[in-house]
Every structure is written in C-alpha cells, then in structure tokens.
Amino acid sequence: MTAHGMFRTVLVANRGEIALRIVRACREMGIRSVAVHSTADRDSSAVSAADEAVCIGPEPARDSYLNIPAIMEAASRTGADAIHPGYGFLSEDPDFAEVCDKEGVVFIGPPASVLARLGDKSSARALMADAGLPLLPGSMAPLASMEAAKRAAGRIGYPLMIKAVAGGGGRGMRIAREPGELAAAYTEARGEAQALFGDGRVYLERFLPSARHIEVQILCDGHGNAVSLGERDCTVQRRRQKLIEEGPAPGLPSEVLEEIRRAAVHGARAAGYVGAGTVEFLLAPDGRFSFMEVNARIQVEHPVTEMLTGVDLVQEQIRIAAGHPLEFGQDQVHPRGAVIECRVNAEDPARGFAPAPGVLACFSPPAGPFVRVDTHAFPGLRVSPAYDPLLAKVIVWAPDRARAIGRMRRALAEFRVSGPGVATTTGFLRRVLDDPSFRDATHSTSLVDELLKADSGD
Amino acid sequence: MTAHGMFRTVLVANRGEIALRIVRACREMGIRSVAVHSTADRDSSAVSAADEAVCIGPEPARDSYLNIPAIMEAASRTGADAIHPGYGFLSEDPDFAEVCDKEGVVFIGPPASVLARLGDKSSARALMADAGLPLLPGSMAPLASMEAAKRAAGRIGYPLMIKAVAGGGGRGMRIAREPGELAAAYTEARGEAQALFGDGRVYLERFLPSARHIEVQILCDGHGNAVSLGERDCTVQRRRQKLIEEGPAPGLPSEVLEEIRRAAVHGARAAGYVGAGTVEFLLAPDGRFSFMEVNARIQVEHPVTEMLTGVDLVQEQIRIAAGHPLEFGQDQVHPRGAVIECRVNAEDPARGFAPAPGVLACFSPPAGPFVRVDTHAFPGLRVSPAYDPLLAKVIVWAPDRARAIGRMRRALAEFRVSGPGVATTTGFLRRVLDDPSFRDATHSTSLVDELLKADSGD
Amino acid sequence: MTAADPDRLLAADPDRVLAAVCRSMADLVAVARSPLRRVSLRVGDIAVEMEWPREAGRAAPAGGEPPSAAQPEAYHHLCAPMVGTCYLAPEPGAKPFVGEGDLVEAGQQVAILEAMKLMTPVEADRAGRVALILVSDGTRVEYGTPLIALIPADAS
Amino acid sequence: MTAADPDRLLAADPDRVLAAVCRSMADLVAVARSPLRRVSLRVGDIAVEMEWPREAGRAAPAGGEPPSAAQPEAYHHLCAPMVGTCYLAPEPGAKPFVGEGDLVEAGQQVAILEAMKLMTPVEADRAGRVALILVSDGTRVEYGTPLIALIPADAS
C-alpha cells in the first residue's frame, strides 16, 4: 500500500479483454500491474500492456489460469499486494479468496464467505428469500433423489428447470416442459453439474419461457454504503449465453424497474456484499420479478453501466478493495441516454455457433463517436480454441435507444475480422438488431431460439 | 429530401478524419454518403466507408478539395441534396455556399451572407461590438497604410497584434511588442495575408501575452432557437495552433464562464447564425474577456463537447440544415465530467514541429473505457505532406480533470505510430500534460513557448 | 465504393508499406545457412510470414522458359483532366473526334468534357495511334479516368 | 518488460529499431553452432520468428558439403514445470544434484523448484549427458524456463 492507501502492484489473474481492461485501469490509477499468462498468451495485449508478466503454465486453463499455487507464487515474487481475478476462472472461487487472505494479498472481490454463500445457488436462494426478495417457485434445498424431484415438480408445476447448485452463467441447466421429460432432464443436469463443477447437486425452479432478463449493477464498499448503478437488460440470449446487453431496460414500467433496483441493493446488503456485483432477476410478462442469482464479480457487460453512468467499475472495485469508501451516494448516480453492447464471438452461427478460432489475418474494430470497443485482439493473433470465444465487445451510447440501434448497426458494419477458419457472430447480431420485436422491445429470452428456428424451418 | 424531411444523399467535401466522421454520422442517420477525393486519397478511410466516391482532382487541394466546379459536378451526378464541407477547405467560403444555393444543393453550414460577414474579421468585430460584446482595443476598420497603423498603434498601446481581415485559425498574424517592431510586423502580416487569403488587408488588436483561450460551442436552428453547449478551453497552443483542448474550462470562476456562454449565444443571434459554430474569446488574467472571432463551421475539437454533453454535433448540423428545429433547449444541456482532447500530428517537435509525413508501418491507436479516437489513419497509410498533419484526435472523458489527465497519459502511452521518417507530437503532448501549470490550470497561451524555450535554453 | 471495402485498404500499396519489413526479411533469409521452413516477422500491425514447402529443393523451377521478349509496349493513356461527362463527338450525331486506328497529333482534340455546363476540350498530349477508345459517348468520368489508349508515335 | 521500453523504442527511428532487432536475430542465428529449428524474438511491438524444417540437413543446398556426421544433435531441454525458485542442490551449501558433463538417468532428480513453500523435484525425463546448466542456484523461473540442456543418451 502507498501512503494514499492504494495498492502498489496489482496482479491480474485473467486473460483476454478483461485482463487488458484491468491493466488499463491500474495504469490510470498509477498502480503497477502484473499479467500472469499461459504459454499460449505469451504475446497477448495484456502481457504487452502490463508492467510485468509471468508465465504460470501451459495453455489448458486448469494448469495456468486456474493454477492457484502458480498465481500465488507469481504474486509473491512480483510483490503484488492485490489480485484482480476478472470474470470466470477463479473470480468467484471462495478457496482462492481464502488463499489470498492467508498470504496477505488482497483479493479484489467480495469476502470468501460471501462468495461461498452466493456461489451455492441453493443457499443464495434461501438467503434472498429470508431477505424478502421474490423467488420463482422452486425447491429450496438440493434434491436428494429422483423421487424428491418428482414430488417437488408436482408441487411447482411445469415447465420447470433443473439447475446445478454450483452452477451459474447459464451452465448446468436443463428444462423439463412436462412430467415425461423430468427424469431425463434430472439425470442430464446432475451429470453436467458433476462434470462442470465437481458437484452434482441440483434443484428445481419454475421455468418462464418468455421473460425478460434484468440485472442490477451494485457497488458496496466496506463501510456499509451500497448503491445501485441501474439495471441492464440481457434478454437476448442463446442457451442462456448473453449476446446483447443494454441499459436502461427498454419498454418496462419505471416503477417496476425502480423496485427491482431497490431489491438488488437490499439483497446485496443482506448478503454482506462488498465490491462490484450483479443481482440477476427474471421479469415475467405479468410484471412480477424473481431473484435468480448474484454474479459476485465484474461482469462481461459492465461497460453498459459505465457508459450510462460515467462510473469506472474496475477502478471502483480496486478502490473498494483498498478500503476506500464510495465517493458518491445513490442520489449522485445519474444514468444518461441508452447503451447497447454486442458480444462479437469467434463462433459460426451457420454451424450452431460452433467455436471458429484461428489466426486473425485482418482485425479492424469500429471506432468514432460514442463507440467503445473492448478487445484484446489484433491482426496476427491466434485465437485459441482453449479459451472463451469472445473477440470483442462493441458498446455504443446514444441519447435514446432508437439512435443507439442505428449507431450499433453502423459500428458492426465497420467491423472487419477475417482469417482462415475464423467466423464471427457479427452478422447474426445485426439480424437481432433488425428484428421487429427487439426494435419494439417486446422480445423475450426466447427471441434467439425463434430466429434460429425460423432459419431451420421452411 | 425524404418523406421525413431528411436528406437522401450528403456529399462530403473534405478528407481525413472529419470526412470519416461525417460519413459515420450519415450512416447512423440512414443517409447515403458520397466521398469526393483527390488521387492521393483514393484508398482513404472516408472513401472506403462512404456509399459512393468520386475522384475530383489531383493531390494539390486547390485542384481537388478547393475545386468548386468539380465538387458541384460530383454532387450533381450522385444526386446529392446536401454538401457537408467539414472544416478548413471550403467550409467558410461564402462563394461556395452561394454556388450550392444556386445549384439547389443545401450547404450544411450558415447562410452565405453570414459566412461573409463573420469571415471578414473587421466586419465581425463591428457586428459584435454593436451587439455589446466586449472586444480587445483595436482598429475597427482595416488599416489604410503604415501611417494609419502607427496612429492606431499609438492609441491602442503595445504589445499588439497585426491580423489579417480575411484570416482565421491562427494564420496571418504578427506580434509587435514595441513600436520598433511595428513596421516589420505590419509588412510581414500584409504579405502573409495576401499570400494565404488573397486579401492583404490587416487590422490591429491589443495582444495579451498570457491569456486563456475560451471558446463556446453554439447550435442555432433556422427557427430562432439558439443554445450554448458549454465552453472549451484551448489555451495550449503553439503559434496559435491548438494542441490540447478541454472542457469545462478549468480553474475559472463559474460566473465568468456563464457570462461568456451567454455572450456567445447573444453574439450568434445578433449575427443571424444558423448551424453549429464556435465563438472564440480571450480571457485576461484580470477576468475580463474579449470576443475574438467566430468559427462558422464544425471544429476540430468538437468531440470535447460531444463527450461532455452527449450531443452529436455533426448529426445536429445535418438536422438543422434539413430545416429541423432543435430537439432540446438550453435547460436540457447538462455537461458531465471533464474531457481532454490531444491532437496527434505527424510533426517532429525536435525539429520545430516540422511536418514528418511518410508511410505508417505501424498505427495502433489507444482504446478502452472512456477513450475515443477520431482518426482516418491505418497501417500502410501514406501520410501526404500536401495536407494537414493531423493523424488522430485522442479524446478522454473522466469524472474530473485530474482523472482525465491520468486517463490521457495512459491513452497516449498506448498509442503506437511509426514509419520511415514519421514523427508525432505524442511525446510533447505528454510533457504538456505533466507540466505543473497545466495540472494546476494556471497555464496561459504562452505555455508551449515556455516549454520550448526551456528546451533551447541551457 | 461500399462499406465492405476496407479490407482492400490493408492491401493498399504493399510494396511501399512493407519495404522495410521485407528488406529485413530478406536479410534474415540470407543469413540462414540452411534452407528455412518458415520465417515470420511482425511489426506492430503488420505481419509477414514466409513458409517453404517441406521439400524445398524439389519445388525449385527446373529450367523454366525465359520471359517472352515480345512483350507489347505499354499504352499511353489520355485521361480525364476533370470530373465530368465525356463526349466523343462535337455534338450529338456528329462524327467522333477520333476513331480506333486513327493517327493523332499532339494537341489534337480527342474528346470534350462537360462539367457544370462548362465544355472543356480534351487534347492528346503527344502524337500516336489510337489503340482503344475506353469510354463510350456520354460516360460520366472522374478525374484521371483513362479515356483513350494511345500507341505513342515514337514507339511504333 | 517495463512500460518504458516500448515507448523508448518507438520514440526512436523505427527503421533502426527494426534493423536492430533483425540484426540481433541474425547474430543469434550466426552464433548457433548446430542447426536451428526455431528462433523467435520479440521487442515491444516487433516480433520475429524463424523456423527450419525438421530435417534441415536433408534440404541442404545441392553442391554443398554433405552434413557432417559429427554434427551434434540439438539439445534436449529440461524445463521448469511450474513458476517458482529453482535450486540446484538439495540444501544450501550441499553438492549440486548434477554438474555439467554428468550422465543422468531418466527419472533422476536434477533440481528442485520451490513455489509457495512447496518443494517439487525436477526430474530428467530421459537419459543423457548434462551439457549446460542454464540457471544459477536460487533463480526465479517461470513455467517453461529451460533449466538444463541435455545431450540425449540415444544421440551420443
């Protein structure tokens, strides 16, 4: 720590665009940054931009970006007094947060105990139910057996979703639309949960086939202050993977949104949350909303909120972790205009969004007024199939949503990415932007499936 | 015009970053764009981005970008119903505006008569004096002879500046610090004015060696509505060429700034102004401000105001020219945070800012949160010595000025430009950002000269 | 020109852009004592890579034919001196200024350009034989559009 | 890599930087006593890589001398299996695990890596003779840092 109570050196335990994002934040704050990386990321943008870099393992994430001893050794040798975990990888791992604590390195995120409570979806639901947040009908405790699942399903009603207790980010889920689908869905969900998270416990929840996905960005400092920075609408999803995020949520009653934002702050306080986090809700067509989960980390779509509010969320994370109180209260948060973010992935929509990595012969992102692109890519980059296919996030601001859509169409049209075997989601994103239900903001989480169904139909 | 009263096709009579900026605005508004270009700009970004392109002449601007018949022929053949002149070139030429009128093509800018009145600095001064704006002591009418100059100089007092009646943008000026320097300065200024503008008339004005350059962005529609979008501080200049612009003006009393903004709107109304324009003032250390000139066009530094207010000035220009009333009033203009713009020129500060054009082997501009880069450059571009040396404008936003400076330092550090013979002003810009007087906002228009003097001294 | 073209930009003028890079590449190749398999060089946003076939020796050209000595002389093009509409005859229906195969003198009018109702004659800047007329009557041309291909008199 | 390096490099004449990088590369190639397979060098935004085919000898230019039969095989490197501090002896002052010229068996310990107070032995993954010890005792190494150059037993 410096005399001003700020970290001297932050180690960035991540890769890709978020690692570069964090390195930039550090540089602007006068903090030294260390990029740890796998052998595959030796020439990455984050490594080039950071003050120091340490190779911590081979390409597979389990041996590098998930390798806690290697990361802690790198922190120790570079004198890092804090670690920023980004999103994914170790960002929500309570064990990692605990190891950091033990080694005297500040984990930039919520306390390990909070991560543990919110990471277990079953205990998170119980916590939020106690705090008075509305939940979808579901089984509170993990299901002990197929028999228990059947009993709970009878009580809750169909369609319903079987979800992994240890899940999150849209993985480890199965839908059962009628009783006949329950057994298979239960077995598959258990298997996937065990494979993905090493924890086969699952629970049941009512499934809303056409809802809106609304999430609230919150910031809580270690001094009891908590603010909401407004909501994001992440309704455009494919298999629960977000494709387009925007803010403010369009076409919804402002009193409902206000209520959701208040619920989010209330829930975060109840959880003892510290740092930047996101509380996710589903909003049914009847206007009733239900708590889904807390993402206890910086989120991919955080730039939406940054462009609306002018708050640098990564810098705020760092300040909060350094023990600083928030510099503003709820009444100083004034979102302005409308923001849309599109995720450009190295995936081929024509082949079921299969990963389409390769070497980028050409990479020329859009620019110009009110357009922000967060990317780690550059011409010549080898996009590894070992990692997330996110190539770039294109974010645009405009005074209103209609103009933001126009601006996003312009920006995506400017984007040039090509390379042998490389395909991107850009064209598909433009189709969504042009869809009448999206334009009218009458779409639901099933929009992408409907578009894809229309393709395969005649 | 379309059914919605908007242009179908806008011809962009300019080049470089501003041409690309205008093409982008057109695309976002659903307007077809035509880029006219010289043979040297065949592969320019604006040409690539526009819907259509017409080569109108060889590299020298007088045969292409200043070639009115060629531009009008291109407008006629492409069915353009409006022409955006950008800045420089024909943007403030009343003759060009008149030709457009005659040919039934809308000139996106003020009426020809307003351009004529404001372009003649002598008549502009008289107009603003009549409107009650404070002026620096000076000769109202052009000087008839050296004798007249001597008499006026005796009345006004030294130091003073001899300025071209037809000048603007910092060209055609000479300083006389004492009576002994008057004759040479007068003769040189006349000669330069004749050479640059084909009009050797000059006038005298008191010279303020350490003032702040404050300018106000205004928007006036054709229906009598006029608003100020706040001021920009362009005090960091080298030989009256702006290097760094920012907003809001730092370290100045808010009541003085408020008064300057009101004066600007009042002056614009008095001139019958229509469109986007800038009213420039000098602010003396004693807090007294004086009208300098009106820039009757979009300005290089317009992004500063765009990032502060969220208003897209180029789109507003186009809407106003199409006859639309302003969509907002003065009370809906809410500048937020602090913005700094740095002009990165292909010039070599080590050789007196001599142009340093060439082929860009590497061109990798900064990006990331709250950073905007307006540029037409790309790897492989041949930067022509025939045109303006502006390579890119780097603009950053932050909640306050100190953080904006930190962000700009980060952004400039990320900027990679190189090529045989190519030099840029990036390093010098960072020196200015680090200068204590700039950081404290106690600097004046003489800051750059002082920095350069310190270099050459021992 | 459409928005789909910027890819082309990156390939613009590659000889000049990559001159320094390629020279360095050539130096590297020269210093390699044994045949290379791959060389790559990246400078900022420019990346160059050379790769040889696995059996480089066998791929070498074996006694290829020398380039033809009968290569035709390059045409000299008469180009539009301004943006406008190109007319090949003094007035509609009249005999064209020149036809293919005609001999023209330096200074002889070969076409007329109309721009903003102003007529500008296009003249041959050297003597020669008209090989090809490249535009049809009434074509809208840009500055620099080739109008007529001439075989210069001193080359025939 | 520090933040100051790329700035400084690019502030200078980029031609010169490129030339310097490639000259260094050429020096590396020239100094290598045995045929190379791959060399790569990166300085700031400049990256250069050269790769030779696996059977470089066979592709030798015709007419050249046949490749020497005594040409040493490329070294086999024992690399750090994790980030940590590399110790060459079991404890301070003790005799090193191996010395240059020693023969080692596959599976024999050659060094020890400490990371987060955890000691991990580094073992030879094949038999051979220690040609070079590339790090000194107590060196902090990254994943993949070459520690020892081995001449494999089956090559000698």
Rg of chain A in Å (alpha carbons): 21
Strand order in the sheet with D46-51: C46-51, C38-43, D46-51, D38-43
Contact between chains at C6 and A364 (C-beta distance less than 8 A): yes
Confidence of residue A167 (pLDDT cuts 50, 70, 90): confident
Cβ within 8 Å of residue D55, ≥6 positions away: none
Residue A184 in this model has a pLDDT that exceeds 80: yes
| Nearest CA distance, D10 vs chain B (angstrom) | 7
The CB-side HSE value for A447 (13 A sphere, CA atoms) comes to 28
Share of chain A above pLDDT 70, in %: 99
- Label residues D49-77 b or e (16+ Cβ within 10 Å = b): bbbbbeebeebbeeeeeeeeeeeeebbbe
pLDDT, position A209: 86
Rg (CA), chain D: 19
Residue to mutate among B37, B62, B73, with most C CBs inside 10 A, is B73
Which CATH number, 3.40.50.1220, 3.40.50.20, 3.10.310.10, 1.10.150.530, labels domain A9-108?
A: 3.40.50.20
Q: Which long-range contacts (CB under 8 A, 24 or more apart) does A440-444 make?
A: A440/A251, A441/A250, A441/A251, A441/A252, A441/A401, A442/A251, A443/A235, A443/A236, A444/A209, A444/A210, A444/A211, A444/A212, A444/A235, A444/A285
Q: Of A390, A391, A434, which Cα lies nearest the Cα of A409?
A: A434
Q: Of A134-138, B1-5, B163-167, where does the model show the most confidence? A: A134-138
- Segment B229-241 mean pLDDT: 94
Helix ranges restricted to H, D2-144: 4-11, 14-31
Residue by residue, DSSP assigns A382-422 as: EE-TTS--EEEEEEEEESSHHHHHHHHHHHHHH-EEE-TT-
Cα Rg of chain C (Å, integer): 24
* Chain B: closest CA distance from residue C113 (Å): 11
Q: Which two tokens stand for residue B258?
A: 């408020």
pLDDT band at C46 (very low <50, low <70, confident <90, very high): low
Q: Does domain B212-456 have CATH number 3.30.470.20?
A: yes
- Asked if C6 lies within 8 A of A418 by C-beta distance, the reply is no
Residue D34's pLDDT is: 58
Tell me how far apart the alpha carbons of residues B330 and B265 are, in angstroms, rounded to a whole number: 10
Segment A7-58, tens digit of pLDDT: 999 999 999 999 999 999 999 999 999 999 999 999 999 999 999 999 999 9
Contact D144 A76 (CB under 8 A): no
Q: Tokens 């110790």 correspond to what residue?
A: D87
Give the pLDDT of residue A330.
97
**H-only helix segments in A110-206:** 112-119, 121-130, 146-156, 179-197
Pairing mode of beta strands D118-123, D84-87: unpaired
Q: Residue B130 carries which side chain, given as an amino acid letter?
A: D
Q: How far apart are CA D79 and CA D144, in angstroms?
A: 5
Phi, psi of A323 (to 5 degrees): 95, 5
Report d(CA B73, CA B56) in Å as an integer. Answer: 9
Among B381, B397, B410, B434, the strongest candidate for a mutation testing the A interface, having the largest count of A CBs within 10 A, is B410
Tokens 């006389």 correspond to what residue? B176
What is the percent of chain D where pLDDT is above 70?
58
Does D66 score more than 90 pLDDT?
no
- Between residues B168 and B38, the one the model is more confident about: B38
* Size of chain D, expressed as the number of residues it contains: 156
In the structure, how many helices (H) and strands (E) does chain A have?
15, 22
Copy the structure tokens of residue A199.
Answer: 């924890």
Query: Stretch A166-187: mean pLDDT, rounded?
Result: 87
User: Residue B220: is its pLDDT beyond 70?
Assistant: yes
- Chain B residue numbers touching C2 (CB-CB < 8 A): 51
Does the beta-carbon distance from D48 to C31 stay under 8 Å?
no
Mean pLDDT of A264-274: 98
The CA distance from C11 to A404, in Å, is: 32
How sure is the predictor about B66, in pLDDT bands with cuts at 50, 70 and 90? very high
Enclosing H/E stretch for A226: strand A226-238
pLDDT of D10 reads 41
Q: How far apart are CA B209 and CA B284, in angstroms?
A: 9
pLDDT at A171: 76
Whole-prediction pTM = 0.86
- Interhelix angle B313-321/B16-29, rounded to 10 degrees, is 70
Nearest to D3 among B364, B413, B419 (CB): B413
Using a 10 angstrom Cβ sphere, with 0-12 exposed, 13-18 middle and 19 or more buried, the burial of residue C64 is exposed
> Residue B291 corresponds to which amino acid?
F
Cis peptide before A159 (omega within 30 of 0): yes
**Alpha-carbon gap, residue A348 to A141, rounded angstroms:** 39
C5 touches A: beta carbon within 8 Å: no
Whether A436 shows a pLDDT value over 80: the answer reads yes
What value does the mean pLDDT take over residues B129-154?
92
Q: How confident is the model at residue B457 (pLDDT cuts 50, 70, 90)?
A: low
Q: Which pLDDT band, with edges at 50, 70 and 90, does C43 fall under?
A: low
pLDDT for residue D7 is more than 70: no
Set of chain D residues whose Cβ sits within 8 Å of the Cβ of C35: 52-53, 56, 59-61
Give the best residue of B38, B45, B47, B48 to mutate against chain C (max C CB count within 10 A): B48
* Residue A238: per-residue pLDDT: 92
CB contact under 8 A, C3 and A413: yes
**pLDDT tens, residue by residue, B301-354:** 999 999 999 999 999 999 999 999 999 999 999 999 999 999 999 999 999 999
Q: Is the pLDDT of residue D18 over 80?
A: no
Amino acid at B13: A
Q: Which residues of D touch B427 (CB under 8 A)?
A: 11
Each residue of D42-56: pLDDT tens digit?
665 667 777 776 654
DSSP H or E segment with residue B78 = helix B68-78
Residue C4, pLDDT score: 31
Q: Which residues contact A212 (CB under 8 A, 6 or more apart)?
A: A233, A235, A249, A252, A282, A283, A444, A445
Find chains touching chain C: ≥3 CB pairs under 8 Å: A, B, D
CATH architecture designation of domain B137-206:
2-Layer Sandwich (3.30)
Q: Average pLDDT of chain A?
A: 95
Which among D14, D50, D60 has CB closest to C28?
D50
CA pair distance B432, B412, nearest whole angstrom: 12
Window 25-84 of D: residues touching A by CB (8 A cutoff) are: 42, 44-45, 47, 82-84
Question: pLDDT-based confidence at D2, cuts 50/70/90?
Answer: very low
Of D44, D45, D83, the CB nearest to A54: D83
Helices (H) and strands (E) in chain C, counts: 3, 10
Name residue, tokens 């070139």. B89
| pLDDT tens per residue, range A367-406 | 999 999 999 999 999 999 999 999 999 999 999 999 999 9
* pLDDT the model gives residue A173: 87
Q: Let me know: does A58 contact A64? Beta carbons within 8 Å.
A: yes
Look at residue D4 and tell me whether its pLDDT is greater than 80: no
pLDDT, mean of residues D133-137: 92
Residue A411 contacts residue A344 (beta carbons within 8 Å) = no
In B, minimum Cα distance to D10 occurs at B418
CA count, 13 A, side-chain hemisphere, D109? 13
pLDDT of residue B20: 98
How many angstroms separate the CA atoms of A122 and A204, rounded?
A: 10
pLDDT band at D117 (very low <50, low <70, confident <90, very high): confident
Domain boundaries, chain A: 9-108, 137-206, 212-456
Q: Which amino acid is at A320?
A: I
Residue C80 CB contacts under 8 Å (≥ 6 apart), including other chains = C86, C113, C122, C141, C142, C143, C144, C145, C147
Phi, psi of B372, deg, nearest 5:
-120, 135
On chain D, the residues whose CB falls within 8 A of the CB of C28 are: 22, 25-26, 29, 48, 50
Which regions of A3-126 does DSSP assign to beta strands (E)?
Answer: 9-12, 32-38, 52-57, 82-84, 106-107
Out of A306, A375, A406, whose CB is closest to B28?
A406
Chain A contact set for B19 (CB, 8 A): none
Mean pLDDT, to the nearest integer, of B421-437?
96
Q: How many CB atoms lie within 10 A of CB B53?
A: 25
Using a pLDDT cut of 70, give the percent of chain B over it: 99
Q: Is B297 annotated as catalytic?
A: yes
Q: Is the pLDDT of residue D13 over 60?
A: no
Residues of C in contact with B73 (CB under 8 A): 82-84, 115-116
Subunits with 3+ C-beta pairs closer than 8 A to B: A, C, D
Contact C44 D49 (CB under 8 A): no
Q: Is the peptide bond before B248 cis (omega within 30 degrees of 0)?
A: yes
* Residues D54 and C54 sit within 8 Å (Cβ to Cβ): no
Q: Which of B212, B232, B297, B401 is catalytic?
A: B297
pLDDT over 90 percentage in chain B: 90
A72–D116 C-beta distance less than 8 A? yes
In chain D, the DSSP E strands lie at 38-43, 46-51, 76-79, 84-87, 103-104, 109-115, 118-123, 128-133, 139-141, 146-152
